[in-house]
Amino acid sequence: MLYLVLVGIFGACMGSFTSMLLHRLPKMKDDESVNLFYPSSSCPDCKNKLSVSALIPIFSYLWQKGVCKFCKKSISSFYLINEIIHCCVVLLIALYVGINVEGLLYYFIFFILYILFFLDYKYLYLPFYLNLTLIPLGILINYLFNTFTTLYLSIGGMIIGYSLLWMVNAIYKAVRSKNGIGGGDFILLAGLGSVFGIMALGPIIFLGSSISIIIYLLTNKSPNEEIPFGSGLIIGSIIFNLLKIFIN
């Protein structure tokens, strides 16, 4: 029981760290003075620095009743939602996979996909190193534990995932003389292939494309605007895995 409490606290802290990354990574792309440690966290409205107690996940939001203690402006509930989601996911992994190396790898894959989903959705931005990290994590978890697939199907998934989108883009480029798919999407599909295996690529691309089109239609984008295909692929792979669990 004590273990689960500690694991839950770890999850909530990771949720808080996730909010920080989602806030800073797009800024770090354009502004070299911003990094993971500088400037220290502050209220986006009044710029007052957050005290240590305001950094305690979940509880600080509830204590402060969702408002900044200096300017009383409301704090986005997205911070609280991130903390609760990560707390729940870490607890589920601890219960169903275990508190071990496999569980940790499992969580880090979720953590990276979560951040990539929101960054691509909001900024069409897939940070190179974060995106790339998915590939070794996928190969490692399948090599050590066969969690989602075998090592060979994982390596095959990585190679075919990258090549497929690269080829589709090359054909598009030959016809329209411009890139149709962002280079980050090639790496992301290579990562998803290495995590879920070569056999998962077909369903992930089918679900991912359908979801991207739905996002495109729902958000009323103009015909020339880019769509977050990476976010679609991530949701597609999550739906694919949920379907697999229910069908089994």
Q: Which residues bind Zn ion (CB under 5 A)?
A: 43, 45-46, 68, 70-71
Residue with tokens 């704090």: 75
Nearest residue (CB) to Zn ion, 71 versus 144: 71
Q: How far is the CB of 47 from Zn ion (least distance, A)?
A: 7
Cβ contacts of 84 within 8 Å, gap of 6 or more: 12, 15, 58
Cβ contacts of 108 within 8 Å, gap of 6 or more: 137
Nearest residue (CB) to Zn ion, 68 versus 134: 68
Structure tokens at 83: 């903390």
Nearest residue (CB) to Zn ion, 68 versus 140: 68
Q: How far is the CB of 202 from Zn ion (least distance, A)?
A: 49
Side-chain half-sphere of 158: how many Cα atoms within 13 Å? 20
Q: How far is the CB of 43 from Zn ion (least distance, A)?
A: 3
Nearest residue (CB) to Zn ion, 68 versus 153: 68
Q: How far is the CB of 131 from Zn ion (least distance, A)?
A: 33
DSSP alpha helices (H): ranges in 97-127?
Answer: 101-123
Nearest residue (CB) to Zn ion, 45 versus 226: 45
Q: How far is the CB of 198 from Zn ion (least distance, A)?
A: 50
Question: Does residue 91 contact residue 8 with C-beta atoms inside 8 Å?
Answer: yes
Question: Does residue 233 contact residue 200 with C-beta atoms inside 8 Å?
Answer: no
Q: How far is the CB of 23 from Zn ion (least distance, A)?
A: 15
Nearest residue (CB) to Zn ion, 74 versus 179: 74
Q: How far is the CB of 62 from Zn ion (least distance, A)?
A: 17
Question: Does residue 215 contact residue 227 with C-beta atoms inside 8 Å?
Answer: yes
- The sign of the dihedral angle between the CA atoms of 15, 19, 25, 31 is negative
Question: Does residue 170 contact residue 198 with C-beta atoms inside 8 Å?
Answer: no
**Hey, what amino acid is at 141?**
I
- State the Cα torsion 158-167-188-116 to the nearest 10°: -170
Structure tokens at 69: 């203690």
**Hey, what amino acid is at 107?**
Y
Nearest residue (CB) to Zn ion, 71 versus 95: 71
